[in-house]
Structure 1
């Protein structure tokens, strides 16, 4: 392959590709330098697992013991046909997971009583922060105060407070009964239902009062409680947020979990995240796709919103009633004992107890391997999550749910394991995943997710731990965090890591907030030197005006589109710099921008290698320019897989970098998530890494001091349950293996580029859709350069698979040539007609100017192994104009399909 590209060895190709000025001699990991075998790795993980102690958890606070049905565990969570898919941007080969997401949205709308729901938020805390941003946007930024009731979970409050800084919002935390809107400056209010200490309050009058004062109401809710409680939508809430963890997802020491946000039709275009909608395909047949603005957030750049299963109603009612019954039984027992005071307010599953010595009670429970929540020195809470005999329903009649839910046939059709298994498999068969072929998406790095890496994720010792359990019960996790942090420091050239950000975009945001906190600290020192007396007043002004002194962020136009979105969320002013004739950063334009803004320069955001996949010369000079003008260098880690073992962000000159563990370090994309985006920093930034209000965290290795920027995610270590994947990948690869992976990734990309150098395309979408007929996923389209395809083969793919994909593109090029030569109709041809699902090919009437066989089998290998697209080309415009984001009755779908065809 190297010879084909024009080099006599792999190393000579690498020497010619990676600039000598940034090459490192050798990378040596502090542990696992030689790399472990799969058997050794599993033994090591078993040893770590044995150090985690799984006590009975009655902590609650948004995280609950749950049961994952084995049919779901084996056939979804442990199934590469589900966890290796890419985000469903190509709807025609993603209908299975799109249907599962539409089911999820329908469930959320049913339970919350609001008509619109999204399907891609990270956790309850960040969902609440997104709702806060929505309230700000609804008021067009004219009201700058957001009120949070003190009965919200503490992690939710802290995440909102951190996020508010970037929006120049003031957060006020108040007891529900003391909330008022006299200032006239309140854009929204957040309350918890039920409250964090268990109480159920009737918010109907509270919401009417808020609305009378022009204030939007956000309600954080527990889905299981909403089985028995009046839905927030019926109470008048404008936005409802929460986590779906309780519906069968392991606690996993913090995640990953699916959060949600539901709202009214009025605010649908302000919703964050992904929304799945119903549309039609080229034959008028109902089809699903990602709706509205969420299809490609990076196109919107600084205007983007941040990126940052089944049970029938009767079964859910039984579970909810039993949980409520257990809590009631516990409360009744305590009242009989008479030695403590039980909260008098209604509750669903959490009982608040007043006592003389909360710690003594919690310690006694601890000795019996039970974890309680200590609220203060005289208060503990107990949250029921297990099954118990039904007892009296203690929920007041005025707050009891009367409206039906989950009435659609999809929730009432699969009552046996056989039926559910077959439904899961039917959905899976509609989706193209890495089980079928390579997914050549540029910048997304769809690489091997080795089975051994995936195995520990579902072990109970990792899956069943509450994120707020005492850290001594999580010794295995803590050892893994320490080892992982040290290895990531070596790989990146940084001094400390935070594992808290639970997505790539969250990592971007966290990295910029670290830089912001650092500049604020420097400003405080400057002020202190000048006049001690003005410090408090200066910070008051800083926080109220958003005048953070160094707030300019330089971003090349070639950068990832999430970069300007993240900078905008941090309250930074964006200065764009262009590229030269080769598409590389224009260094002289960047130098001028840095010098012109030297008094206010906060940061540069740069992707390396570039978004085009090129190792740009002069990256070290670029870093020096920024530092000379008082700024910090933020490196986007999207292309870190081309640096590992060859160079590093820290060596190049970056101060902070986030890592997409789901790209470089093998966490599966899972059809759009979950991911992790930990950030590495140089020593001077380490004190500002995020912490947490419940379990104190910081950098790994720990910095000497801590001035944390705030809280980024609801859980202390983000989605901790998927960290074993990256940990085992790094440990098994070892130093040489990781370096070789980078070299092979570079080789594969250059080999493919050489094979395809004489091809050209028409419209990228046509090529992507025709690729489906050949059994491939389309590459990244029209980004970062319009009219192009960006392909990344990764180091995981064999030469045979690379050749098969190249042969496919060359074949498509020949199909394009027929159009160019006038031998195929410019509007009615095999590319414009793609993809070709069985329903189209087997129709009674065939009017295409090319044969059915050629449409279906353009290459010989397809006759032995064919992945069939489910639908014809999906009409996105129709779907946006007729936006429907919940399941339709079967009869209505048939009617709409007939109308669309007509």
Structure 2
């Protein structure tokens, strides 16, 4: 028996082979298929020599990979440096109880968190129904006509609402008023968004909003940050008469007892659904929301779930009105947002499903009653309040603010730091009678003759402490969904039934090009629910968040090492936000040099639609540059346009490797051209997973890149969100990274304003990427990139005899993804890429990316996490589908009645008494033998997109469905 050394035994504990799908033996077989002796030789043949990184990633203390247990222990040590307190800070963030059935079966369930955006509705019916529930919750609670599938957070939702009413309103004014009791972080995000658009943001006293001069809109907070609950109905009437529109940022729980803004005239209502069961998480991720009047639905940003019918006439859900989005409209899009906060919106929706309307009202009334009791108790002590009405927040007048904060911390509480003469207290659903007693002691300390607290006696005297005319009279959440699942048994089965309808990574490979659906390892996910990360308020004192900020600093250093940049900001909470922030940094850099006139952004025609949309939002003018016949940026055209716009050139936005899946040879020349004309190079990091360890954008000419941590660095997609889109910048741009001045986070005085509602964006999911990098180390990260490229080339080579592969480099090689061209086959047979996408569902696969970046194609990205066996299973499916297309071409299958046009085939269709097709049931359901052992049945047939857009029904399924 061969002796194994201790070092070899210890190496077996490595996480790296857990993350990488193909074994060493499988990799050798794939390399043999491609004709290369090693991964290094393959990478040398693909990556241009002038950008190829030869040295190991400089990851410092994280250079060597850590076993899973060791990484968890190290992160646990950082988490222990945080101090979990009861925060009654409020200001948009509240303690909440996540129902444990939701915690275990959604938040911690890979069936939900590894799903992709529901662009293929037939295999996304479960999460589409859950999102539809969310939309119903928002429309009902706000009293508005329609709501979208969620926003990134409350601050950015308010900013999006500002631009929405400017688009749809009739006023020519460029002035937008914000009431002075709007959340400070929301005001800062709105100011950041307004500046490049030429919108003037003015503040106005909340009780004077009806008296403002000419403007296109006003933003109100309901209740205000200091707790006041105001009746704005008369002011709104005056504003409408003057041609202005009204945006209201509303507390969702308060709307269970307060008259909804839709009933007193609001045009748009925005907010945060965090207190519907989503942990604080140091500021995110949480699902913001937006609701508006039905007539504005085609101008509303973000995703929208609607109802349609399938091929058999059965009801189906789908994403509706997608022509509003950037993929189609580019710089003319309603917004640059290409994501949502789906996982968090689903959690919030299920909080409402679990509690129902009676439960929500009970929680809201309990919160209000405890606040009322505390107010009465503090009044006994002689305290007075800055707010005369309230739902859950008291702003207490005091000349002992510093002393009260110190005493509160001794008792385990964080109060809101308002100013030297006030402290704030916001009660939430986690606060108990004992907590009220403890808070009373805090305020009673130092008060002579303080009476004993009798909560029941005070409660007996309490009436509602908000204006009587604002007491909610209308019903909400009357649909059966919100009345049926209140026992845990029923709720558990409902969640399981929804998950069973969907395809996620826990069932199958998701070969989407440009989307990087890779392993989200359990050890990466576990720390997200640790209290030291999940139960920290974003505005907690710094001394309580030492571990959080140390972890964030380490992650920033890791990302700097991976990208070659000098500094990173983790504030942007989506890729689109990263693009926007990066462009604002470039804009601020030019302004600092007296060149604020530079506003031309060059963007290749192949770019993702968010690029031109982000440039437009940043106040830049988009100039499109051509691509050549091979899909590469046409350097001659780019050079000509750089020269033409030299005096005003701000930047170029280029994706690398290209959107076409190729390492373009001329990337350094492109950077040199733009730099020679005074511009900056923005390298879109969407494909960074093909660069880590083999090339670094900050080293080959990039000035700014955003990264998608939800792609390259393993944060899961969650059905379309959450995401993190940090930006890395060169040393000359570091001083311009985002601040968050409203909450005391000032990175550099020269920095841009806040782009997200919290200083560190979606902080609570950053441990996922920290764990991934710590467990992979420098060599592991490089191996992940190399295997991703190997897998993509293996798939491309195997499929090339059956489908033309577009845009290859040397020796027919691609980067991390490949584009197969269905157009020649469609010309011969009428079979489209959509038919192939739907047919793949019968094989149990999610389709590749359809018609992007080239219409009529499929873009395939297998990622490094897929084994050779899974790749071969997908290849078998694609070859079988090609054989079916060939039968259509030969006339063996009818052009309209064939397995591809009929796909996907539901169990109902296959088992129906009558079979109306010329092809067999067996061919439809079991095109390959392995499906007889394990079969996924699509829950609906092909969704009718045209019907859905013409007959948008944006709400829960009709009550008749339950009769």
Distance 1:728 1:198, change over 3 A: same
Aligned to 2:446: none
Structure 2 residue corresponding to 1:872, chosen from 934, 941, 944: 941
Aligned to 1:471: 542
Residues 1:721 and 2:764 are matched in the alignment: yes
Aligned to 1:802: 871
Q: Alpha-carbon deviation of 1:829?
A: 1.1
- Report the Cα distance in structure 1 between the residues aligned to 2:464 and 2:784, rounded to whole angstroms: 59
Q: SS where residue 406 of structure 1 aligns? A: coil
Residues 1:237 and 2:281 are matched in the alignment: no
Structure 2 residue corresponding to 1:221, chosen from 250, 263, 273: 250
Structure 2 residue corresponding to 1:495, chosen from 536, 544, 566: 566
- Report the Cα distance in structure 1 between the residues aligned to 2:945 and 2:223, rounded to whole angstroms: 39
Distance 1:140 1:237, change over 3 A: closer
Correspondence list, 1:193-212, <5 A: 193-212=222-241
Q: SS where residue 316 of structure 2 aligns? A: strand
Give unpaired runs (5+ residues) of structure 2. Answer: 1-29, 339-349, 434-455, 804-821, 827-831
Q: Alpha-carbon deviation of 1:393?
A: 2.3
Aligned to 1:351: 394
Q: SS where residue 593 of structure 2 aligns? A: helix
- Report the Cα distance in structure 1 between the residues aligned to 2:654 and 2:764, rounded to whole angstroms: 30
Which deviations, in whole Å up to 9, do the C-alpha atoms of 1:564-598 show, x marking residues without a partner? 01001101000100011111000111011111111
Structure 1 residue corresponding to 2:751, chosen from 708, 718, 727: 708
Give unpaired runs (5+ residues) of structure 1. Answer: 527-547, 700-704, 895-902
Q: Alpha-carbon deviation of 1:889?
A: 2.6
Structure 1 residue corresponding to 2:362, chosen from 302, 306, 318: 318
Residues 689 and 698 in structure 1, CA contact (< 8 A), matched pair in contact too: no
Distance 1:344 1:53, change over 3 A: closer
Residues 1:689 and 2:750 are matched in the alignment: no
Which deviations, in whole Å up to 9, do the C-alpha atoms of 1:489-515 show, x marking residues without a partner? 111001111010000000000000000
- Report the Cα distance in structure 2 between the residues aligned to 1:645 and 1:370, rounded to whole angstroms: 45
- Report the Cα distance in structure 2 between the residues aligned to 1:873 and 1:890, rounded to whole angstroms: 24
- Report the Cα distance in structure 2 between the residues aligned to 1:609 and 1:116, rounded to whole angstroms: 39
Aligned to 1:522: 593
Q: SS where residue 412 of structure 1 aligns? A: helix
Aligned to 2:486: 415
Q: SS where residue 302 of structure 1 aligns? A: helix
Q: Alpha-carbon deviation of 1:473?
A: 0.3
Which deviations, in whole Å up to 9, do the C-alpha atoms of 1:274-312 show, x marking residues without a partner? 110011000100000001036853222112222162321
Aligned to 1:100: 130
- Report the Cα distance in structure 2 between the residues aligned to 1:365 and 1:893, rounded to whole angstroms: 51
- Report the Cα distance in structure 2 between the residues aligned to 1:589 and 1:137, rounded to whole angstroms: 34
Q: SS where residue 647 of structure 2 aligns? A: coil
Q: Alpha-carbon deviation of 1:881?
A: 0.7
Q: SS where residue 33 of structure 2 aligns? A: helix
Q: Alpha-carbon deviation of 1:188?
A: 0.9
**TM-score, normalised relative to structure 2:** 0.88
Correspondence list, 1:108-507, <5 A: 108-139=138-169, 142-179=172-209, 183-184=213-214, 186-293=215-322, 297-304=326-333, 305-307=335-337, 309=350, 310=353, 311-338=355-382, 340-385=383-428, 386-388=431-433, 391-507=462-578
Q: Alpha-carbon deviation of 1:695?
A: 3.2
Residues 334 and 342 in structure 1, CA contact (< 8 A), matched pair in contact too: no
Which deviations, in whole Å up to 9, do the C-alpha atoms of 1:191-225 show, x marking residues without a partner? 00000010000010011011000111000000100
Structure 2 residue corresponding to 1:649, chosen from 678, 684, 697: 697
Which deviations, in whole Å up to 9, do the C-alpha atoms of 1:611-631 show, x marking residues without a partner? 011000010110011111000
- Report the Cα distance in structure 2 between the residues aligned to 1:374 and 1:723, rounded to whole angstroms: 27
- Report the Cα distance in structure 1 between the residues aligned to 2:710 and 2:301, rounded to whole angstroms: 21
Aligned to 2:439: none
Correspondence list, 1:578-597, <5 A: 578-597=626-645
Residues 147 and 290 in structure 2, CA contact (< 8 A), matched pair in contact too: yes
- Report the Cα distance in structure 2 between the residues aligned to 1:273 and 1:328, rounded to whole angstroms: 38
Distance 1:220 1:661, change over 3 A: same
Q: SS where residue 759 of structure 1 aligns? A: coil
Correspondence list, 1:474-623, <5 A: 474-523=545-594, 548-623=596-671
Q: Alpha-carbon deviation of 1:342?
A: 2.1
Structure 2 residue corresponding to 1:60, chosen from 90, 114, 117: 90
Distance 1:161 1:880, change over 3 A: same
After TM superposition, the structure 1 stretch with the greater mean CA deviation from structure 2, 449-458 or 392-401, is 392-401
Aligned to 2:778: 735
Which deviations, in whole Å up to 9, do the C-alpha atoms of 1:389-444 show, x marking residues without a partner? 76532222200001111111000001211110000000000000001110000000
Aligned to 1:73: 103
Q: Alpha-carbon deviation of 1:183?
A: 4.8
Aligned to 2:727: 679
Residues 1:820 and 2:864 are matched in the alignment: no
Residues 5 and 754 in structure 1, CA contact (< 8 A), matched pair in contact too: yes
Q: RMSD value over aligned CA atoms?
A: 1.4
After TM superposition, the structure 1 stretch with the greater mean CA deviation from structure 2, 439-448 or 833-842, is 833-842
- Report the Cα distance in structure 2 between the residues aligned to 1:140 and 1:323, rounded to whole angstroms: 40
Residues 189 and 217 in structure 1, CA contact (< 8 A), matched pair in contact too: yes
Correspondence list, 1:34-53, <5 A: 34-53=64-83
**TM-score, normalised relative to structure 1:** 0.94
Q: SS where residue 95 of structure 2 aligns? A: coil
Q: SS where residue 52 of structure 1 aligns? A: coil
Q: Alpha-carbon deviation of 1:795?
A: 0.4
Q: Alpha-carbon deviation of 1:461?
A: 1.0
Which deviations, in whole Å up to 9, do the C-alpha atoms of 1:616-659 show, x marking residues without a partner? 00101100111110000011000000000011010111001000
Q: SS where residue 871 of structure 2 aligns? A: helix
Residues 468 and 694 in structure 1, CA contact (< 8 A), matched pair in contact too: no
Aligned to 2:51: 22
Q: SS where residue 553 of structure 1 aligns? A: strand
- Report the Cα distance in structure 1 between the residues aligned to 2:464 and 2:938, rounded to whole angstroms: 50
Residues 181 and 213 in structure 1, CA contact (< 8 A), matched pair in contact too: no
Which deviations, in whole Å up to 9, do the C-alpha atoms of 1:448-487 show, x marking residues without a partner? 0000000000111110000000111011111101110111
Which deviations, in whole Å up to 9, do the C-alpha atoms of 1:338-388 show, x marking residues without a partner? 1x2123521000011111132221122122221111211101110001245
Q: How many residues of Structure 1 are paired with residues of Structure 2 in the alignment?
A: 864
Q: SS where residue 711 of structure 2 aligns? A: helix
After TM superposition, the structure 1 stretch with the greater mean CA deviation from structure 2, 174-183 or 828-837, is 174-183
Residues 76 and 82 in structure 1, CA contact (< 8 A), matched pair in contact too: yes
Q: Alpha-carbon deviation of 1:853?
A: 1.7
After TM superposition, the structure 1 stretch with the greater mean CA deviation from structure 2, 203-212 or 28-37, is 28-37
Residues 170 and 243 in structure 2, CA contact (< 8 A), matched pair in contact too: no
Q: SS where residue 269 of structure 1 aligns? A: coil
- Report the Cα distance in structure 1 between the residues aligned to 2:680 and 2:157, rounded to whole angstroms: 29
Aligned to 1:863: 932
Q: SS where residue 650 of structure 2 aligns? A: strand
Q: SS where residue 318 of structure 2 aligns? A: strand
Q: SS where residue 765 of structure 2 aligns? A: helix
